């Protein structure tokens, strides 16, 4: 990794402590080569997220997702197959040769959690519950302050 890209990533990570979650998340993802114009303007409240996306037969398990600790959730963007295949760096990120499920689209969200300590298991459970709402993979950035 060249020094310029490393510095961009470091600056993007520092931005999380003093910037709007959506802006900071898009900045970080952009520095990693993930970009898309496919987005929606949605209310970033947890209740609005569930109202918009909890439409499956299997209900969202709020307890497992630690829903009461969610401060906000931002829909960042969607990357589709066309964008992946027609992009320089971004195309290489998904080009692993892995074809299980042959996904045509990826969704990117950012979740802001109340200040607390979270185990890796808890963060994985939150991510899993969100992913179960969609037919395509969800990439989730989670911001929380331990301490």
Q: DSSP letter string over 55-117?
A: -SSSPP-TTTTTGGGEEEEEEEEEEEHHHHHT-HHHHHHH-SS--TT---EEEEEEEEE-SS-
Q: Does residue 17 sit within a domain?
A: no
Lowest pLDDT segment from 5-9, 86-90, 120-124 = 86-90
Q: Residue 110: give the domain boundaries.
A: 33-143
Lowest pLDDT segment from 17-31, 99-113, 122-136 = 99-113
pLDDT confidence of 147, banded at 50, 70, 90? very low
Q: Does residue 119 sit within a domain?
A: yes
Q: Does residue 5 sit within a domain?
A: no
Q: Does residue 8 sit within a domain?
A: no
Average pLDDT, the chain: 85
> Into how many domains does the chain fold?
1
Name the percent of the chain lying above pLDDT 90: 52
Q: Does residue 23 sit within a domain?
A: no
The predicted model scores a pTM of 0.82
Q: Does residue 28 sit within a domain?
A: no
Q: Does residue 39 sit within a domain?
A: yes
Q: Does residue 14 sit within a domain?
A: no
């Amino acid at each position: 990794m060249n020094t310029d890209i490393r510095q961009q990533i470091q600056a993007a990570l520092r931005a999380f402590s003093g910037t709007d979650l959506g802006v900071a998340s898009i900045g970080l993802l952009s520095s990693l080569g993930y970009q898309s114009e496919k987005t929606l303007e949605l209310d970033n409240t947890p209740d609005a997220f569930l109202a918009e996306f909890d439409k499956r037969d299997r209900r969202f398990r709020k307890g497992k997702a630690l829903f009461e600790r969610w401060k906000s959730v931002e829909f960042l963007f969607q990357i589709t197959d066309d964008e992946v295949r027609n992009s320089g760096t971004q195309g290489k990120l998904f080009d692993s040769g892995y074809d299980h499920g042959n996904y045509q689209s990826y969704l990117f969200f950012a979740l802001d959690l109340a200040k607390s300590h979270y185990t890796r298991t808890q963060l994985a459970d939150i991510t899993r519950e969100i992913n179960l709402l969609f037919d395509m993979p969800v990439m989730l950035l989670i911001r929380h302050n331990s301490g």
